[in-house]
């Protein structure tokens, strides 16, 4: 490792552990916000790396490897963990020290992994994480005896508590300061069933000799599960959680969003009043400020949805949701594990599609990838919110619900329903004679989420969204402003300037194709930059109408639309956005994940066909009911 | 391994009702209808803690055809389908 040569004091760590071992919260505790999320080159498994400095000033870099129960590598994630630990992953430094993280309340599976890791010859340090919870439950560990039995140093940690990792850092420091011992030979080979059983027996023997376990399972988890995993009550609770989540996204974020949009409108007005009329004024107010503002406004909603997803995950509820949904999803030809990728797709299809790597079976994974873009991603929220608040009255329904919230719920339900139907179609036509893959998942004990860890998770995602807003979306906004502003109208021309622009030409060219859906040329124009990211369509509509209307501020897009569109057009536009193949990055990810352009084209075409037909039907039905 | 039918105390975990409590007698990966290869299924079951002598209890079952099941294996809880649980031979 070149870094080590330049600075002999820095070392590189790798975190290895079973799923639910608290690896991620330990990683967050050690690195804080000093982390970088990227992809391993060539594959789309998430690579989480970070760094921290010890009290004595030593630089430590660490990487959080995908969770695994063994080095067998039965999924692409697990192969990465194996290859990095063995030093066989191209471009990845061989870790100087492997931290094997164990959930202290559940040592059996991790100890077998420790025994397997020992065979790789890498220096090891076993971290008994969540030690406070284990102690509270009556687990007691003879650390010295355990360390002797495993032949590996053992340290306890409480990732959630301040100073809970001090001992771990001290031991790492000691290790780094020592003369590096010649590493033992790597004698690891894939384990046979016989080896596997022998290792498990040895792990069980070590636990018997050194650990005192409580006789009773966690009573809180048992009591909660009695309700949460109940066949009827459990599904009801799941539906309730999802419903609360969507109401929250719609109503809690409202005050913050209004504040943001007011601020951007004020900034735009300030620029308008300060600068002389002309291209620069128009660019800053209508292109830059209005464009970025109309996207940034949705940050509160994205934060809320990720907050929910991360909270559910940290509570330990996600695995329960997969359990409850397994047969229901199975009926539609989906694997229970597909629930997590599909739920993540509510935030964004891209992490969702990437999360399908938890599904081992290729065909199950492919089905999940194909339908993931139908889940209502957060980029559709700006579009839905805009149209709903402009066209749907905020009346109470049955005194409890808000009509706007109900329409939002309906749009989400339409996405889910069509995804399940699509999966059924795929299963029926493509893989009729195929056995579904097994479903085997640990249901971890419930744990109180750690606020700091959740905060770091939400922060990382918000940063990713802002980064996207700052690059892709901003450049698209500048492009649409350019298309809408050039060429300038000839001297003495009549009507709004945009009627002479490139945007109008493209819009008029596409208009006949979209006319049956009730779309005017302005919508056709807005759909084009929407290909970069769905939410851009909102900013684009703002630009198109703001420029056309001359003085209309972009924060009044909704009012502008409600005066220019019929209800039928608005509903048709909503229907289009449920299905439309709108986001280019999603298709790039599908191509990468499936390793085939063919599947990407299939996804694009089927979504386009669904969107066109759905909008066509919606528009004509709405017109027939007099909403035209 | 004895066929479960030959001993009234033995049965397959996949056939056991909710509330069943027992001990794992062994794995018989030929018994189930899993789509996994036999070696893969056996490895996965062992990795999840389904080894001889482990105490099992069926805690929960799904709404549709009582599937999947949540099984307490010693001190952890594993969710799996009855189809794969057929490979686990248990004694009451």
Domains of chain A and CATH, by start: 2-212 (3.40.50.300), 252-297+450-565 (no CATH)
Average pLDDT value for residue range A318-343 = 81
> What is residue A41's predicted lDDT score, i.e. its pLDDT?
63
Q: How many pairs of residues across A and B have Cβ atoms under 8 Å apart?
A: 122
Q: What is the pLDDT of residue B19?
A: 92
Whether B77 contacts chain A with CB within 8 A? yes
A515 pLDDT above the threshold of 80: yes
Q: What digits encode the pLDDT tens for the residues A196-223?
A: 888 888 998 998 889 887 767 678 888 8
Smallest Cβ–Cβ distance between A440 and the set B39, B61, B78 belongs to B78
- How many Cα neighbours within 13 Å face the side chain of A541? 28
A317 close contact with B: CB closer than 8 A: no
* Chain segment A127-158, per-residue pLDDT in tens: 998 888 888 888 888 989 999 998 899 998 88
**Minimal Cα–Cα distance from A426 to chain B, Å?**
19
Checking if the pLDDT of B91 tops 90, the result is yes
Neighbours of B49 (CB within 10 A): 23
**Hey, are the CB atoms on B62 and A361 less than 8 Å from each other?**
no
At A180 the pLDDT is: 66
Long-range CB pairs of A459-465 (<8 Å, 24+ gap) are A459/A33, A460/A33, A460/A35, A460/A37, A461/A302, A461/A303, A461/A306, A461/A347, A462/A299, A462/A302, A462/A303, A462/A306, A464/A37, A465/A299, A465/A302
- How far is Cα B57 from Cα B77, in angstroms, rounded to an integer? 9
Higher-confidence residue of A508 and B32: namely: A508
pLDDT (0 to 100) of residue A6: 44
Greater pLDDT, A362 or B79: B79
The yes-or-no verdict on residue A40 having pLDDT over 80 is: no
Express each pLDDT in A542-551 by its tens digit.
767 765 544 3
Q: How confident is the model at residue A612 (pLDDT cuts 50, 70, 90)?
A: very high
B51: contact with A, CB 8 A cutoff: yes
Name the token pair of A377.
């991603």
Residues in A closer than 8 angstroms to B24, CB to CB, are: none
Q: With an 8 Å Cβ cutoff, are A443 and B75 in contact?
A: no
pLDDT score, position A495: 60
Q: Does B44 touch chain A (CB under 8 A)?
A: yes
Q: Residues 268..297 of A with a Cβ closer than 8 Å to B: which? A: none
- What is the pLDDT at residue A539? 72
- The pLDDT, as a whole number, for residue A554 is 42
A213·B83 Cβ contact <8 A: no
B31 touches chain A (CB under 8 A): no
> Is A323 in Cβ contact with B79 (below 8 Å)?
yes
At A46-99, the pLDDT tens digits run 788 899 888 888 889 999 998 888 898 877 778 889 999 988 888 888 899 999
Please answer whether residues B80 and A439 qualify as being in contact, where contact means their C-beta atoms are separated by less than 8 angstroms. yes
Q: How far is A242 from chain B (nearest CA, A)?
A: 19
pLDDT at res. A549: 44
A362 touches chain B (CB under 8 A): no
pLDDT of A331 > 60? The answer is: yes
Give the pLDDT score at A5.
Answer: 44
Q: Is A440 on the interface with B (CB under 8 A)?
A: yes
Report residue B79's pLDDT band, with 50, 70 and 90 as the boundaries. Answer: very high
Mean pLDDT within A585-612: 84
Cβ separation A322–B79 shorter than 8 A = yes
CA of A72, closest CA in chain B: separation in Å? 9
- Two tokens at A524? 């056709």
A352 touches chain B (CB under 8 A): no
Q: Distance (Å) from the C-alpha of residue A458 to the closest C-alpha of chain B? A: 29
Backbone angles phi, psi at A626, to 5 degrees: 90, 15
| pLDDT at site A497 | 67
Of A217, A225, A232, the CB nearest to B60: A225
What pLDDT score was predicted for residue A473? 65
Give the distance from residue B58's alpha carbon to the nearest chain A alpha carbon, in angstroms. 12
Phi-psi category of A179—alpha, beta or left, where left has phi over 0 and alpha has psi -120 to 50? Answer: beta
CA distance A32 to chain B (A): 30
Mean pLDDT (whole number) for A346-359: 73
Q: Quick one: pLDDT band at residue A406, thresholds 50, 70, 90?
A: confident
Convert the pLDDT of each residue in A242-290 to its tens digit: 788 767 766 777 788 788 878 888 888 888 888 887 778 878 877 778 7
For residue A255, the number of C-alpha atoms closer than 13 Å in the C-beta half-sphere is: 1
Query: What is the pTM for the complete model shown?
Result: 0.76
Domains, in order of start, for chain B: 4-91 (2.30.30.90)
Q: Give dist(CA A541, CA A545) in Å, integer.
A: 6
More confident residue, A51 or A309: A51
Q: What is the pLDDT of residue A294?
A: 65
Residue of A187 and A621 predicted with greater confidence: A621
């Amino acid at each position: 490792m070149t870094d080590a040569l330049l600075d002999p004091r820095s070392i590189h760590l790798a975190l290895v552990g079973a799923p639910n071992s608290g690896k991620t919260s330990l990683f967050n505790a050690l690195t804080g916000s000093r982390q970088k999320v990227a992809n391993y080159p060539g594959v789309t498994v998430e690579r989480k790396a970070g760094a921290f400095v010890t009290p004595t000033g030593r630089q430590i870099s660490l990487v959080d490897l995908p969770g695994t129960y063994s080095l067998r590598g039965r999924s692409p994630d697990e192969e990465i963990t194996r290859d990095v630990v063995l030093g066989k992953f191209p471009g990845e430094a061989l870790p100087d020290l492997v931290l094997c993280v164990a959930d202290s309340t559940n040592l059996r599976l991790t100890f077998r992994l420790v025994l397997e890791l020992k065979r790789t010859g890498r220096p090891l340090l076993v971290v008994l994480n969540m030690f406070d919870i284990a102690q509270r439950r009556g687990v007691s560990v003879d650390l010295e005896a355990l360390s002797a039995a495993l032949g590996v140093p053992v340290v306890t940690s409480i990732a959630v508590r301040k100073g809970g990792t001090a001992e771990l850092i001290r031991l790492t420091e000691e290790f780094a300061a020592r003369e590096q011992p010649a590493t033992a030979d790597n004698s690891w080979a894939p384990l046979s069933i016989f080896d596997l059983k022998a290792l498990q027996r040895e792990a069980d023997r070590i636990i018997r000799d050194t650990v005192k376990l409580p006789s009773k399972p966690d009573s809180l988890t048992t009591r909660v599960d009695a309700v949460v995993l109940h066949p009827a009550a459990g599904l009801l609770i799941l539906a309730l959680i999802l419903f609360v989540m969507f109401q929250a996204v719609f109503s809690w974020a409202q005050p913050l969003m209004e504040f943001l949009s007011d601020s951007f409108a004020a900034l735009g007005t300030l620029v308008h009043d300060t600068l002389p009329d002309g291209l620069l004024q128009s660019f800053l107010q209508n292109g830059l400020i209005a464009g970025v503002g109309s996207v940034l406004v949705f940050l509160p909603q994205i934060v809320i949805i990720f907050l929910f997803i991360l909270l559910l995950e940290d509570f330990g509820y996600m695995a329960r949701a997969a359990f409850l949904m397994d047969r229901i999803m199975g009926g539609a030809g989906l694997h229970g594990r597909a629930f997590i990728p599909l739920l993540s797709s509510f935030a964004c299809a891209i992490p969702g599609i990437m999360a399908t790597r938890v599904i081992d079976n290729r065909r199950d994974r492919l089905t999940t990838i194909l339908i993931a873009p139908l889940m209502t991603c957060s980029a559709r929220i700006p579009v839905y919110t805009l149209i709903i608040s402009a066209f749907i009255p905020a009346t109470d329904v049955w005194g409890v619900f808000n009509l706007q919230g109900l329409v939002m719920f309906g749009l989400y339900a339409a996405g889910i329903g069509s995804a399940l139907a699509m999966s059924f179609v795929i299963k029926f036509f493509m893989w009729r004679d195929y056995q579904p893959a097994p479903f085997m998942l640990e249901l971890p004990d419930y744990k109180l989420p750690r606020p700091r860890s959740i905060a770091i998770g939400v922060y990382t995602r918000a940063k990713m969204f802002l980064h996207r807003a700052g690059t892709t979306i901003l450049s698209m906004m500048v492009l649409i402003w350019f298309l809408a502003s050039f060429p300038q109208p000839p001297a003495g021309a009549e009507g709004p300037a945009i009627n002479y622009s490139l945007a109008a030409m493209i819009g008029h060219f596409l208009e006949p194709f979209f006319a049956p859906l009730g779309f005017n040329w302005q919508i056709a124009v807005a759909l084009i930059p929407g290909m970069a990211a769905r939410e851009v369509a909102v900013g684009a509509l703002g630009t198109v109408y703001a420029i056309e209307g001359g003085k209309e501020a972009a924060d009044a897009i909704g009012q502008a639309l409600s005066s220019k569109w019929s209800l039928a057009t608005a509903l048709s536009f909503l229907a289009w956005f449920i299905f439309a193949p709108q986001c280019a990055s999603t298709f790039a990810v599908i191509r990468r994940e499936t390793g085939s352009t063919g599947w990407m084209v299939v996804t694009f075409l089927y979504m386009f066909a669904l969107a066109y037909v759905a909008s066509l039907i919606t528009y004509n039905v709405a017109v027939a009911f007099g909403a035209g | 391994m004895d066929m479960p039918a030959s001993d009234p105390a033995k049965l397959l975990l996949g056939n056991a009702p909710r509330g069943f409590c027992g001990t794992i007698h062994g794995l018989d990966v030929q018994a189930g209808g899993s789509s996994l290869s036999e070696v893969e299924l056996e490895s996965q079951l062992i990795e999840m803690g389904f080894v001889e002598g482990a105490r099992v209890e069926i805690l929960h079952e799904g709404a549709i055809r009582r599937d999947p099941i949540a099984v307490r294996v010693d001190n952890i809880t594993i969710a799996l389908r009855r189809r794969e649980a057929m490979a686990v031979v248990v004694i009451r």
